[in-house]
Structure 1
Amino acid sequence: MRVVIATRIFGPEVSAASAILRIWAEEFRDRGDEVVILTAKPPKGAVVDDPPGIEVRRAAVKRDRQQYVRGYLSYMSFDIPLAFRLLFSKRADLYIVEPPPTTVAVVRVLSRLRRTPYVVRAADYWTEAAELVTTNPLVIGTLRRLEAWGLRGAARLFAAHEPLMQRFREVGIDAPATPIGFGADTKDFRYDGQPPADPPVFVYAGTHSEWHGAGIFVDAMPTVLARHPDARLEFYGNGEDRDAMLSRARELGIASSVEFYAPIPPAALAPILAGATVSVASLAPVPPNDYALATKVYSSLAAGCPVIYTGRGPTVEFLNDSDHPHAGVAVPYEVEAVAAAMLDAAAAPLPTAGRAALAAWSASEYSLNSIAERVVDESHAIARR
């Protein structure tokens, strides 16, 4: 069949969505389907490496100063041309759409016009995340109605996990939904025998925006440095909180121990994670994060690196219920608790044999490829119906 994936973000941009959608596209291709990806032109300087046998069509889009497609002016710069790209393209058998809600709404309209079913990769409930950055009742109300309308029209929501699916039900979004879980791209994230860093290195890999609350690791570093003066905290990625964290590190007098790097491709990030003492991940302790999951933990585990997580939500249960003794720990969102966990990790870093075992366990339990197989199976059934 012919599958069209509509997404504002795709490779070579570094994000979980980019990796996930690429693997989905490759699975459709490997089943003999024709796959077209409608996306945005990548940031300046990015090296395009599209998957063979898949047509990727890119259009200009408005980006913010950190080169993200973020904010509703940016979304509109993608969504309005997308409507015409879908309207005047060859008819598809199925649309797959990546939020934001405005993009989902556009696809719902074109789905009706072109008589083509669509499915949504639903990783978050955007409306409640938006409440962290605005309290304007008009904005929140409009977004809530738009998001619900777009999701209700889907033939299937591929929800990140069961708690998110239940939240959709609570707010009246009753489209058929399947919790598919998360995983890592084990082609890129793997362990190649790196020893743990000495002195200790703590790595935060991914977006650090308002709802992540990653600044708590900066606040914890003075306690760590008191015992390990040469320790480092490294951030890879972008986010609205970067300037605030830089300022906080200077205020604490630890700017030389806290380093910020631009996003890098998974193949380059994997060895950094593999050699880190631990990776760190967080979600701010606010109600919308009660059913949000810190997906970066899967990439870390696949690279053989244990995780320190702070916040609430399904990530806590994932680490607490893990059947691997070295997957990591979940601690309360408190500076003292985070610092203590970082000190424990620095005192007893997981050795190479343990890292290899952790990576092997993760690859067998949490691979994006197995999730893609399930998505394609259900998508084929939807298209046939």
Structure 2
Amino acid sequence: MRITIVSRIFAPEPGAASLRLKSLVEALAHAGAQVDVMTTAPPASKSGQTDMPARVSRWPVLRDSSGYVRGYLQYMSFDIPAFFRVLFHKRIDVIVVEPPPTTGLFVRLGSALRRIPYVYFAADIWSDAAGSTGAASWIVSGVRFIEKLALSGATHVIAVSDAVADRVKTLAPTAHVTVAGHGVDTSLFTPEGAAPAEPADIVYVGTASEWHGASVALDVVIALLTENIELTAAFIGQGSEWLSLKQRAEKSSVSARIRVLPTVVPEEAAMWLRSARVSIATLKPGLGYDFAVPTKIYSSLASGTPVAYAGPDPVRSMVVDNQLGVATDYDAALLTQQLRALLEGSGELSASSMRAWTQDNVSATAVAGRAATAIMQSARHDA
């Protein structure tokens, strides 16, 4: 079986999608499939070998000022060539397409012309995310229309959670959906391994977009570092709010003990997480995106590091009920209080139990296996 994955992001470029697709490629190859990947040429700063059982075809694209493929022109610089690459690629049994929805739409057009089934990997709902940023209503409506087309044309949709699956069914009632779950590479994110030269006590590792509301994380860090002159913190990542976070951190009275660094490769992210005493994750409620799960939480727990989370359920209950750290409403004062208590008695949380929870519930291998089964069944049923 020949399976082609179409994604604007892929290893070695860091990101949750890269890690997810790496595991998926391995699962598909293990099941006997021949895998091709159509993706972008990575930025020069992220170049490197991709060691996995797939043939990877790369295309140069436009990137924003931070080096990320983000924005409508940037998406089109990948999507339009991807349409022709799908159209003229040799034998394909099934296509797997990653968001954004514009890529899904162009893949739908190409697959229809070639009469090839495609599977849409719904890691999140982009129209909901657009609404959460305060985008104009016509933009949100446009994204939602395109997303409906991408979802409804798919032979199968793979969702990362029950909440995402529910939203998929709302947008595309006839969609055949499989919930594969979120996954983390537990062979990469481990409690044992190398550490950075100067580790930090508190870390935020990952994206900081509008719907993350990471300003609360910075508020908490500044408050705790002001109280305790021995604490240090590091923010490592990228996103639409990253510049404002960096500027606020640099202007704070504790700027000498807060490092704000750009995105690092997953291996380096693992180093920061395993060496920290706690990691912070936030999710701003009320933006129509409350069902999202910041996957940085799973990477931290796999590394044996507890999480301090501020945001809505279901994540808040998940952290508290499974003793994975502390969790509060989206409120800086509440999270400061809880995180202070955690740091004062951090020995009460077991790194081994957090690690075991991730292996039992969110292992990337298990998630990729479920997704690979759905993908291969889609090709067989369509044959």
Distance across 1 between alignment mates of 2:317 and 2:117: 35
Name the counterpart of 1:238.
238
Alignment of 1:282-297 (within 5 A): 282-297=282-297
Distance across 2 between alignment mates of 1:269 and 1:200: 12
Shift of 1:242: 1.6
Name the counterpart of 1:174.
174
Alignment gaps of 5+ in structure 2 = none
Name the counterpart of 2:260.
260
**Per the alignment, in what secondary structure is the counterpart of residue 291 of structure 1?**
coil
Is 1:130 matched up with 2:130? yes
Shift of 1:164: 1.5
Per-residue deviation, residues 261-299 of structure 1 (Å, max 9, x unmatched): 122222222232112111110111123222111111111
Is 1:140 matched up with 2:137? no
Is 1:338 matched up with 2:335? yes
In structure 2, relative to structure 1, the CA distance for the partners of 1:10 and 1:182 (3 Å cut) is same
**Per the alignment, in what secondary structure is the counterpart of residue 64 of structure 1?**
coil
Name the counterpart of 1:364.
360
Name the counterpart of 1:271.
271
Code of the residue aligned with 2:328 in structure 1: it is V
Per-residue deviation, residues 144-172 of structure 1 (Å, max 9, x unmatched): 11111111111111111111211222344
Distance across 2 between alignment mates of 1:247 and 1:111: 45
The range that moved more, 337-346 or 37-46, is 337-346
Alignment of 1:8-19 (within 5 A): 8-19=8-19
**Per the alignment, in what secondary structure is the counterpart of residue 141 of structure 2?**
helix
Distance across 2 between alignment mates of 1:172 and 1:86: 24
The range that moved more, 136-145 or 147-156, is 136-145
Task: Return the TM-score normalized by structure 2.
Answer: 0.94
Shift of 1:199: 9.7
Shift of 1:382: 1.2
Distance across 2 between alignment mates of 1:187 and 1:336: 36
Shift of 1:36: 0.3
Code of the residue aligned with 1:355 in structure 2: it is A
Shift of 1:240: 1.5
Is 1:312 matched up with 2:308? no
The range that moved more, 95-104 or 361-370, is 361-370
Name the counterpart of 1:6.
6
Name the counterpart of 1:44.
44
Per-residue deviation, residues 7-65 of structure 1 (Å, max 9, x unmatched): 00001111110000111011111222110000000011223221343100000000011
Per-residue deviation, residues 162-185 of structure 1 (Å, max 9, x unmatched): 112112223444311111111210
Q: Is the 8 A contact 1:199 1:231 kept in 2?
A: no
Distance across 2 between alignment mates of 1:379 and 1:199: 41
Name the counterpart of 2:84.
84
Q: CA RMSD in A?
A: 2.1
Distance across 2 between alignment mates of 1:346 and 1:198: 19
The range that moved more, 12-21 or 177-186, is 177-186
Q: Is the 8 A contact 1:208 1:241 kept in 2?
A: yes
In structure 2, relative to structure 1, the CA distance for the partners of 1:359 and 1:28 (3 Å cut) is same
Q: Is the 8 A contact 1:278 1:306 kept in 2?
A: yes
Distance across 1 between alignment mates of 2:55 and 2:113: 23
Q: Is the 8 A contact 2:304 2:355 kept in 1?
A: yes
Per-residue deviation, residues 114-168 of structure 1 (Å, max 9, x unmatched): 1111111101111121123344232222111111111111111111111121122
In structure 2, relative to structure 1, the CA distance for the partners of 1:46 and 1:172 (3 Å cut) is closer
Name the counterpart of 1:381.
377
Shift of 1:221: 2.6
**Per the alignment, in what secondary structure is the counterpart of residue 300 of structure 1?**
helix
Code of the residue aligned with 2:297 in structure 1: it is V
Per-residue deviation, residues 91-125 of structure 1 (Å, max 9, x unmatched): 20110000001000011111111111111110111
The range that moved more, 185-194 or 118-127, is 185-194
Name the counterpart of 2:160.
160
Shift of 1:250: 3.8
Q: Is the 8 A contact 2:206 2:237 kept in 1?
A: yes
Q: Is the 8 A contact 1:246 1:255 kept in 2?
A: no
The range that moved more, 89-98 or 261-270, is 261-270
Shift of 1:89: 0.8
Distance across 1 between alignment mates of 2:361 and 2:47: 31
Q: Is the 8 A contact 1:122 1:159 kept in 2?
A: yes
Alignment gaps of 5+ in structure 1 = none
In structure 2, relative to structure 1, the CA distance for the partners of 1:194 and 1:13 (3 Å cut) is closer
Task: Return the TM-score normalized by structure 1.
Answer: 0.93
Name the counterpart of 1:300.
300
Is 1:355 matched up with 2:351? yes
Distance across 2 between alignment mates of 1:304 and 1:280: 14
Distance across 2 between alignment mates of 1:317 and 1:105: 36
Name the counterpart of 2:121.
121
Q: Matched residue pairs, number?
A: 380
